[in-house]
């Protein structure tokens, strides 16, 4: 029986979704909790990866279990055994062909910036004290929309066979002292969002023109783009599946 689990976590203490040498990932912690609850090894498959220190308000993973779950009871027991910074939000029984990663249609991220030093945003937003031209940043961001090659914003050593992504949102929204970048696409490359944010901050700081940003996209060369923005401002916020997935 296949179950789909909705998960949220504060990524500060983790090496992203997958474990790294000398650092534990969220996946390993969840699998360990599973083994304790079911007294059997359970492997889970996530909807995607997150980098070290990146947060998540919505992600999914699936697991194949040999026994039916009392979902409400198991949800409570699962959250009781998980650490305080990881939470299972929901559990759904799904068809055997539903895949957490390959069935997903769209993913959304947010990058949070605070323009005023705020101790309550520490570890959850990038503090950027220099002025930013948000209008220019949004002009540059609009160039990302549509289906195109994003090799300029991908980690060089990656196992993908192409760098084509289809973006349907890339927008900065200012709310008082907060600045949030919203980005949605059918897929994302490794390090892509942080590389885009880092480069757009150069546009906002006046170091890079909108025309130069377009040239970076066209060049498909990661060396020409800006530095990755720090991970602690990044949140995976939404994973979209076909409605049929939830109608079992």
Q: Would you please indicate which residues are annotated as catalytic (active-site) residues?
A: 51
Query: Cα 157 to the chain's mean position, in Å?
Result: 19
Compute CA distances 113 → 60, 116, 132, whole Å: 25, 9, 11
Q: Could you give the dihedral angle defined by the CA atoms of residues 123, 125, 127 and 128, in that order, rounded to the nearest 10 degrees?
A: 150
Residues listed for the chain = 248
């Amino acid at each position: 029986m296949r179950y789909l689990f909705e998960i949220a976590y504060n990524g500060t203490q983790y090496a992203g979704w997958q474990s790294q040498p000398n650092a534990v990932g969220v996946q390993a912690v969840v699998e360990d909790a599973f083994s304790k609850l079911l007294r059997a090894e359970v492997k889970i498959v996530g909807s995607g990866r997150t980098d070290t220190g990146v947060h998540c308000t919505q992600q999914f993973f699936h697991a194949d279990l040999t026994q039916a779950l009392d979902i409400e009871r198991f949800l409570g027991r699962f959250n009781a055994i998980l650490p305080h910074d990881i939470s299972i939000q929901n559990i759904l029984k799904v068809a055997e062909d539903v895949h957490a990663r390959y069935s997903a249609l769209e993913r959304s991220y947010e990058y949070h910036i605070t323009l005023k030093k705020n101790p309550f945003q520490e570890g959850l937003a990038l503090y950027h004290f220099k002025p930013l031209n948000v209008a220019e940043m949004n002009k540059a961001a609009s160039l990302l929309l549509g289906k195109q090659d994003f090799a300029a914003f991908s980690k060089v050593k990656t196992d993908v066979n192409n760098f084509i992504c289809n973006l349907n949102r890339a927008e900065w929204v200012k709310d008082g002292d907060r600045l949030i970048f919203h980005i949605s696409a059918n897929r994302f490359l490794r390090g892509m969002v942080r590389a885009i944010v880092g480069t757009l901050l150069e546009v906002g700081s006046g170091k890079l023109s909108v025309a130069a940003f377009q040239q970076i996209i066209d060049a498909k060369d990661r060396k020409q783009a800006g530095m990755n923005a720090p991970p602690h401002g990044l949140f995976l916020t939404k994973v979209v599946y076909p409605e049929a997935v939830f109608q079992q």
